[in-house]
Structure 1
């Protein structure tokens, strides 16, 4: 599969991984619908693309916490170019706080945006994919969707939930030629930790050292797009932290000892 000429809807497209995906996919000839909460930031991203590609990009503001808007947004996305070929569920929010100190409302926000926002939008688009004879859904999860670490309990839980849902969905829609690709990033150099929620739901406004030293977002975007093109079912992308998945699976006791000592903030 190639993305040239494909119509791709990207959530969380105003910064970080989503922004990097926009630039790489436009370079490869895709047609894009870009969504995020802040229209001004979406306009900035579009303006950073070559002028000749401007007609290939449509802006669709979307708040993943406002589930009542999803039906209208999905109809608008389909109407822009007549169809959607690929949905990239990238939008989300992270957390940096200890579980014991975190208000339950913060956990609810994380689940509303990361889990319910993602599966809600997906459900509205699934009938369109089925009617068109197929489609693809890429979901940006996390390595902590495969294992938990300190300061990320609610975030990790929301990402674990995505794996349960989309693994089940993959089996259900296989016969409809709908592909599911789970993407699990490690430390990627974005502002995800800056925008992460603290125990009271406020922004952390700090970048983690590991995040600052992580894989550049544009490098990650190229790897992610290769996984989508190859119809990978699941892929881990990052530095040596991605080997934690294997360690957790085959040497869980050792993994647990290591993660207790890990400097994750």
Structure 2
């Protein structure tokens, strides 16, 4: 009897979800939410950041984009590929590790061009492939500076603008590693855990300023993240992880992220194994420990 009732509940909920999806396509929500907004994307030269820019240009043509990363040439190529002119796009080179003292001038430049910032998508970051015992202090420091300190410093600079406007939306792309530490990613996971703590606090502190915070936790997404990851010496890993290579298509990942942002979700789990890993950590931590213990980390 219990199982029959449970099955009927799931059946009815499934039907409602399908009907709602058919009647209210998610891309309509994306276009409506991002209409005429000014959106700043860091780490836009590759991976998830690049796909977010491409999907926004496709689904919400009225959105004005600020594209930031270290590689200005890649950003300009992307802007040209999307046929974005100077009224629609600002290519703004940015190094989270080295340019923290220039963030205020960068924010001023964006406001001078577009008059405001509506959404800051903190996507830039770098991963790690090294055991704790083999990781130099300089690598730990760089991982924290890029993934955590650079991100929160830029966000704090934009925060004052959001407070003055009494409106704004922070999006931070962390990782399933923000919930679950795993071998070869110790400091990377620590930085992502730190981002969760910081942005959860920011959300609570500034709810009365009408500032939204969305934390994005990707699992395995098919990007170059492992190719660019630091090894213990600081050199690039330069190898594609098999699980990453078989991960979720980054275009689908970007679409799911934009859906979550437009719905002002507090957290979004996207990419292969993200939801499974996070919910196992939450409800069955011992089971997840044994799974990770017998699973290759690459």
1:109-155 Cα shifts (integer Å, max 9, x gaps) = 00000000110000001111111121000000000001111110010
CA shift for structure 1 position 242: 2.6
**Alpha-carbon contact 1:46-1:54 (below 8 Å) kept:** no
- Asked if 1:13 corresponds to 2:75, the answer is no
Q: Pairwise mapping of residues 1-265 of structure 1 onto structure 2 (< 5 A)?
A: 2-27=33-58, 28-29=60-61, 30-50=63-83, 55-66=87-98, 67-265=100-298
Cα distance between partner residues in 2 of 1:216 and 1:73? 32
Please give the TM-score of this superposition, normalised by the length of structure 2.
0.86
Q: Offset at 1:261?
A: 1.3
Preserved contact between residue 217 and residue 274 of structure 2 (Cα < 8 Å): no
Structure 1 CA distance for aligned equivalents of residues 167 and 87 of structure 2? 25
Where 1:184 maps in the other structure, the secondary structure is strand
CA distance in 2, matches of 1:170, 1:14: 28
Q: Deviations over 1:34-82 (max 9, x none)?
A: 100011111111111035x563111010000021111111111221201
- Structure 2, unmatched stretches of 5+, are 1-31
SS at match of 1:207: coil
Separation in structure 1 between the aligned mates of residue 243 and residue 87 of structure 2, nearest angstrom: 38
Q: Distance in 1 between matches of 2:87 and 2:118?
A: 17
Q: CA deviation at 1:235?
A: 1.3
Q: Write out the 4+ residue segments of structure 1 that deviate beyond 4 Å after TM superposition.
A: none
Q: How far off is 1:241 after superposition?
A: 4.3
Contact 2:218 2:274 in 1 (8 A): no
Q: Once the 2 structures are TM-superposed, how far is the Cα of residue 240 of structure 1 from its aligned partner?
A: 3.0
